[in-house]
Structure 1
Amino acid sequence: MTTTTPNPSYPSWVRELHSPPNPKSKSASSIRDPPGFSASLTGKRAQLSKTQPHKPPTPEETDILKVKKSWEVALAPAKQLPMNAIMMYMSGNSLQIFSIMMVFMLFKNPLQALMQTNAVFTKYETPRTRGKMWVVKAVYVLMNLVALGLGIWKVNGMGLLPTTRSDWLAWESQREPVERTVFAF
């Protein structure tokens, strides 16, 4: 690939595009280094990082990291609970499309998470961490059940749970009166 120098009749910006200015050297720069910065220390650090390669983690360290990460995954539903509770409170108790969609999502997400519990933790499970994983999975299931409880609270607040006697009138039989009164003249 050959670069040609543009004709001097071209504008100056075209000539500058084809021949960019030379980079300024560090010593010629008018900007001073920030306080506490030393170019010699930076060079030594770069040399140390190049000469000392990072050693790979041991299997024990890897297992510890996997257990920590699995705890983060297990506690993630608990971190969403305050936001979900505020959203449920703010959506109100009336039957509107927004509140119905919010309640639907509040039931759908924990149910999906409960069905995929083993799949979520398979990448963190090793033969050495299997004994610790059942506790992590139990906490994960508990946090998702708390999220389902929040959904049940919201559905009850909306009046959609059949908790009163009037909700079951269709299945009650009519009472037969013991006595009858007749109007007489």
Structure 2
Amino acid sequence: MVAPQPKWVLELNSGLPAKSKHATSIPDPPGLSASKPMTGKQAKKSQAAGRKIPTTEETETLKLKKAWEVALAPAKQLPMQAIMGYMSGNSLQIFSIMMVFMLFKNPIQAISQTNLAFSRFESPGTRSQMLGIKAVYVLMQCLLLGLGIYKVNSMGLLPTTRSDWLAWETERQPLERAYFAFGQ
């Protein structure tokens, strides 16, 4: 025995309701035809027919804009990473250690995959300009690496003081000795 379908299912399957007399003064929104709904293929064909094909110059300009967006994306991460570094503190805890690890891992990985990141934007017309964009990308990644080095230094993990190198220090030999004279 099949349960009867709910009212909303019947209304959904029946299609668009007929227009009432009261709605004739309101025009249909752009793209809606009152006859019958279009399928996915028909909608794609109508969009493709109305759209002009971009020229190679327009395509190259768009590729360069997108490449600049990718190149400057690490600069947008820099303030967020700095705030996270400040909030994590300078003590050795799992959160601060993982944050420092990510500050080193992600930029090194991104620098090693620079050509892969920009391969979709390269074309014969944009190849000469991509070198500068890639250089900016590597520079932005180096700024993130610098933030990681600063964080490691503020945590006290970099050997920057003389006391950090005491194991390699030799005992100083005095140039002269002083002996106390008792009595006189």
TM-score band by shorter chain is 0.7 to 0.9
Name structure 1 gaps, 5 residues minimum: 1-5
Q: Does 1:123 align with 2:115?
A: no
2:51 corresponding residue in structure 1: 54
Shift of 1:117: 1.1
> Does 1:72 pair with 2:69?
yes
- Give TM-score, length-normalised by structure 1: 0.77
RMSD in angstroms over aligned alpha carbons? 3.2
- 6, 10, 22: which one aligns with 1:20: 10
CA shift, 1:27, in A, is 2.5
Does 1:149 find its partner at 2:139?
no
Segment drifting more, 142-151 vs 49-58? 49-58
Q: Kindly indicate whether residue 30 of structure 2 is the aligned counterpart of residue 38 of structure 1.
A: no
User: How far did residue 15 of structure 1 move?
Assistant: 2.5
Query: How far, CA to CA, are the matches of 1:75 and 1:164 in structure 2?
Result: 36
Cα distance in 2 for partners of 1:41, 1:124 equals 34
Give the match's secondary structure for 1:20: helix
User: Mapping of 1:94-109 within 5 angstroms?
Assistant: 94-109=91-106
Counterpart residue number, 1:92: 89
The count of residues paired between Structure 1 and Structure 2 equals 168
* Runs of 4+ residues over 2 Å off in structure 1: 14-30, 40-44, 49-53, 180-185
Question: CA shift at 1:29, angstroms?
Answer: 9.0
Structure 2 segments unaligned to the other structure (5+ residues): 39-44
Q: In structure 1, what is the Cα distance between the partners aligned to 2:123 and 2:54? A: 16
Q: Identity over aligned residues, as a percent?
A: 54
1:37/1:83 Cα in 2 relative to 1: closer, same or farther (>3 Å)?
A: farther
C-alpha distance in structure 2 between counterparts of 1:170 and 1:160, whole Å: 16
